[in-house]
Structure 1
Amino acid sequence: MNHATDSRPARRRASVRCVPALPIAVAVLAISAAAAGAQPNVVKLASLVPEGSVWHKILQGTGAEWSAATGGRVALRIYPGGVAGDEPDMVRKMRIGQIQASALTVIGLASIDDSFMVFGIPAMFDSYGELLYVLDRMTPTLKQRLDAKGFVLLNWGHAGWVHFFTKKPVTSAGEMKKLKMFVWAGDDRMVQLWKASGFQPVALAATDILTGLQTNMIEAYPTTPLAALTLQWYHSTPFMVGNGLAPLVGGLVITKQAWMKISEPDRNAILAACRKAEDQLTREIPAQDSIAVVEMQKRGLTVTTVKAEGKAEWESTAQGFAAKMRGTMVPGDVLDMALEARESFRSQAGH
């Protein structure tokens, strides 16, 4: 807060009664100087987003807007590329106060609250329109669930549409089951679910995928084309299954403790900046994801298509995942809410 002071030279007065005003004026000036040089409230944010990637640049832009919109009172310090560890590590560090915020995928979000895993169910969504419709209707509930765990959702993020990238061509679920595939470490339930469905999951940290490919610990992994291109993983996996698996949804979260240390006007300014970032991600990422496929094809990537006779097997496998995840990995009421919203969208779209 700026305190206005009269800088004009004070008139000389004979009365000694004015002398006590001098230390008061000095104190006011000292307070003003301290306020002017006050350190910003630094929010440390960690993420797996690669340094220099489109996601990192959007985060940097968001940080610049935080600072500008709050008059420098809040600063965002970003730790990209997994330098703070894998997503479960980031969540743990938020809980103990080492960092205050993270840009997470559904895997990290689900480690806070299982409800977010509804967006990780294979073949749950057919399009971005469908996904955005469901997100819009579920956001209030999901925010409440995060709030109960001590976190605040600032904005949704998008990383593209997940496909399987493989060392060998895959045109059926049966062929996919022959390959050792990456599964995110930290939740053994997902590992067991893939095993029960006949696959060969290998649990690793996301930061160890490249090493796993180079040492043949894994022969396949699910990710988005834009991520595969950005991280250059596709060089080790020259085949991509053309049939999409699921959207890769994410979110920017901050601990409630850190959030409440920010004044309400500044929180409103930050939320406005985050809405802008969400709009940018929603608008730009799908197009860049498609461009990434074309760029990788120019450099040797082969896109395979599941055979017509194999589609039923894929769909059956996906439906089995949804049934097995209900009540174990995704709360039943949350899954029902998502399915209801999805069917509402499909009925309106004439599906």
Structure 2
Amino acid sequence: MLRKRAVRIDEGGVPCESRRALSREERFLKMNRRLVPVLLLVAAAIALPGTTTTTKAEEGYTLRIASLAPAGSSWMKVLNAWNKTLKDKTDGKLQLRFYPGGSQGDERDFVRKMRVGQLDGGVVTMTGMSLLIPAMNVLVLPGLLET
């Protein structure tokens, strides 16, 4: 007894009897039906072991910020007050560590150290910014802003 094979009809209405009559989209969907469960299992295997440990956000984080302002100056008093407020608002999970008095170098060094991840921020003056980005000088032009 002969078995009848399903005949696929192409877009023009012509029967296609070859086995490779699946369109590109159909092959993609067929492949994804096999691939998606495997990817979900891999993702679960990666994610589950980390659920029992505490994350960095739960432990807290300290941002490292450099400044040219000397310790004890009015600038550092304001920055330390900011740090206290930040610690209070985040229940100690986020705090700031300041490096005052240019202990991390000048403003160019601040930016270089931020790029390589040694610092998270820096208190930079307009003069320091204009050394790094000459176009910033436009903000200190006399007569540009009325005060």
| TM-score above 0.5 | yes
Aligned counterparts of 2:122 and 2:99: Cα–Cα separation in 1: 9
- What is the match of residue 230 of structure 1? none
Quote the Cα distance in structure 1 between the aligned partners of 2:101 and 2:125. Answer: 13
Aligned to 1:84: 104
Q: Tell me the alpha carbon deviations over residues 180-207 of structure 1, each in whole angstroms, 9 at most, x when there is no partner.
A: xxxxxxxxxxxxxxxxxxxxxxxxxxxx
RMSD: 2.6
1:35-54 mapped onto 2 (5 Å cutoff):
38-54=58-74
1:73-118 per-position Cα deviation (integer Å, ceiling 9, x unaligned): 2110000000001111111111111101001101222244333222
What corresponds to 1:67 in structure 2? 87
Deviation above 4 Å: which 4+ runs of structure 1?
none
Q: Is contact 1:91-1:111 (8 Å) kept?
A: no
1:116 to 2:136 alignment: yes
For residues 8-30 of structure 1, the C-alpha deviation after alignment (integer angstroms, 9 at most, x for no partner) is xxxxxxxxxxxxxxxxxxxxxx9
2:65 match: secondary structure: strand
Q: Write the distance in 2 (CA, Å) between the matches of 1:115 and 1:46.
A: 23
Q: Kindly, what percent of the aligned residue pairs are identical?
A: 33
Taking the TM superposition and a 5 Å limit, the aligned residue runs for 1:229-240 are none
Distance 1:44 1:90 in 2: 11
Matched positions, count: 96
Query: Residues 43 and 77 of structure 1 are in contact (CA less than 8 Å); yes or no, is this contact kept in structure 2?
Result: yes
Runs of 5+ unmatched residues, structure 1: 1-29, 126-338, 347-351
Specify the alignment match of 1:251 in structure 2. Answer: none
Higher relative contact order (CA 8 A, sep 6+): 1
Letter in 2 for 1:62: W
Deviations 1:232-282 (A, max 9, x none): xxxxxxxxxxxxxxxxxxxxxxxxxxxxxxxxxxxxxxxxxxxxxxxxxxx
1:39-75 Cα shifts (integer Å, max 9, x gaps): 3221100010010000001001111112222222211
Q: Match of 2:76?
A: 56
Task: Report if the CA contact (8 A) 1:45-1:100 is conserved.
Answer: yes
In structure 2, the partner of 1:156 is none
Letter in 1 for 2:64: K
- Cross-structure match for 1:94: 114
Which whole-Å deviations, capped at 9, do the CAs of 1:283-324 have from their partners, x for residues lacking one? xxxxxxxxxxxxxxxxxxxxxxxxxxxxxxxxxxxxxxxxxx
SS at match of 1:55: helix
Q: Helix, strand or coil for the counterpart of 1:102?
A: strand
Question: Counterparts of 1:100 and 1:111 in 2: how far apart (Å)?
Answer: 20
Q: Which residue of 2 is the match for residue 232 of structure 1? A: none
- Separation of aligned partners in 1, 2:128 and 2:116: 16
State the secondary structure of the residue aligned to 2:124: strand
71 and 112 in structure 1: CA distance in 2 versus 1, 3 angstrom threshold: farther
Amino acid at match of 1:83: S
Residue 46 of structure 1 contacts residue 82 of structure 1 at CA under 8 Å; is this kept in 2? yes
1:75 counterpart SS class: strand
